[in-house]
Amino acid sequence: MPGQTQPFIRVNCAAIPADLVESELFGHEPGAFTDAVALRRGKFELAEGGTIFLDEVSEMPIATQAKLLTVLQEKELERVGGSKAIQVNVRVISATNRDLGSEVAAGLFRADLYYRLNVYPITLPPLRDRREDIPLLVTHFISVFNKKFGKNIDEISPVIMDTLQSYDWPGNIRELRNVLERAAITNTGTSLYLPDGLSQLKNPNGNNTRLITETELLSLVEVERQHILHTLQKTNWQISGIKGAATILKMNPSTLRSRIKKLGLKKP
């Protein structure tokens, strides 16, 4: 059975040209097409014994969907241009931002493949329905971009955080990440600010979020501290369990206890 120490291969189906998807997933033999000068193993073969993550699976061409279904059912594949069946043992995880049930009804996604993939569905609520996650996401992404761009951003105003939490984020975490990346690139000091064009984020309903102005600055550590403290207060300091703070914060209980200690938080 695939193990955690085995390969994990991510494939963004939306980023691969339609005529190359099969070759990317299942590999090809020499001479299979004009540029196929050598044998190439596909992503499924590279993930042997591990996991393949098919992101944006709804963008996969119908013809490739049929071949994917065969791989899932028979646990074997044929490279493009080949005739030899190759056994594969791979765990498949798929994701999409579309309603696959509607895609099936519209004839854009195979019903049999949908039911094959829809064994253990997990629905992730949009970011607008979990605004309490935004402070931790901001802290994480700013840390990532500080390292990536050699920045030293360690302060954020409550008004900016309020702006980020008030926006509906139709593009979800990817949109938030892109906004923060643009902000990090243009920032020249230690305080986070949003560049021109982003100082007022406009929601799809046409309403702007609050206008960003200069105000008291909080360090990113303090933002994290307040967010964890607020969650602990809401859960009456219950850390573990389905209704505990660790579950709400999507953290391991032991990690949360460590953060509580490091941030100097104490139960009243």
Which residues touch 92 (CB under 8 Å, ≥6 apart)? Answer: 51, 52, 54, 72, 117
Q: Are 71 and 77 in contact (CB under 8 A)?
A: yes
Element (H, E) at 110: none
Q: Are 30 and 39 in contact (CB under 8 A)?
A: yes
Could you count the other beta carbons within 10 Å of the beta carbon of residue 60? 25
Give the side-chain half-sphere CA count within 13 A for 74: 12
- Enter the pTM of the model: 0.62
The domain that holds 213 is classified in CATH as 1.10.8.60
Same domain membership, residue 147 and residue 111: no
Strands 76-77, 86-87: pairing is antiparallel
Strands 76-77, 51-55: pairing is unpaired
Same domain membership, residue 142 and residue 110: no
> What is the pLDDT at residue 5?
78
Domains in the chain, number: 2
Q: Is residue 268 part of a domain?
A: no
> What is the pLDDT at residue 210?
43
Same domain membership, residue 131 and residue 99: no
**Of 236, 223, 233, which Cα lies nearest the Cα of 263?**
223
Same domain membership, residue 95 and residue 213: no
Same domain membership, residue 236 and residue 158: yes
**Residues 242, 248, 250, 251, Cα dihedral to 10°:** -80
Count helices and strands in the chain by DSSP H and E runs: 11, 8
Compute the distance between CA of residue 259 and CA of residue 133 in angstroms, rounded to an integer. 16
| Final residue belonging to a domain, choices 88, 117, 146 | 117
Long-range CB contacts (< 8 A, 24+ apart) of 185-188?
Answer: 185/145, 185/149, 187/151, 187/153
Domain limits at 13? 8-117
Tokens 């008030």 sit at which residue? 166
Same domain membership, residue 107 and residue 15: yes
Same domain membership, residue 137 and residue 68: no
| Final residue belonging to a domain, choices 117, 136, 165 | 117
Same domain membership, residue 225 and residue 189: yes
Question: In angstroms, what is the C-alpha Rg of the chain?
Answer: 23
Same domain membership, residue 245 and residue 132: yes
Q: Is residue 122 part of a domain?
A: no
Tokens read off for 249: 């914060």
| Final residue belonging to a domain, choices 117, 136, 159 | 117
The domain that holds 58 is classified in CATH as 3.40.50.300
Phi then psi for residue 28, to 5 deg, are -150, 160
* Tens-binned pLDDT, residue by residue, of the chain (268 aa): 444 578 999 999 999 998 899 999 999 988 888 777 789 899 999 999 999 999 999 999 999 999 999 999 999 999 999 889 999 999 999 999 888 999 999 999 999 999 999 999 988 889 999 999 999 999 999 999 999 989 899 888 787 888 888 888 888 998 999 999 988 887 878 888 776 655 556 655 555 544 333 334 456 666 777 778 888 888 889 998 888 888 888 788 888 898 888 888 888 7
Q: Is residue 3 part of a domain?
A: no
Same domain membership, residue 238 and residue 142: yes
> What is the pLDDT at residue 9?
96
- Residue 200, burial from CB neighbour count under 10 angstroms (0-12, 13-18, 19+): middle
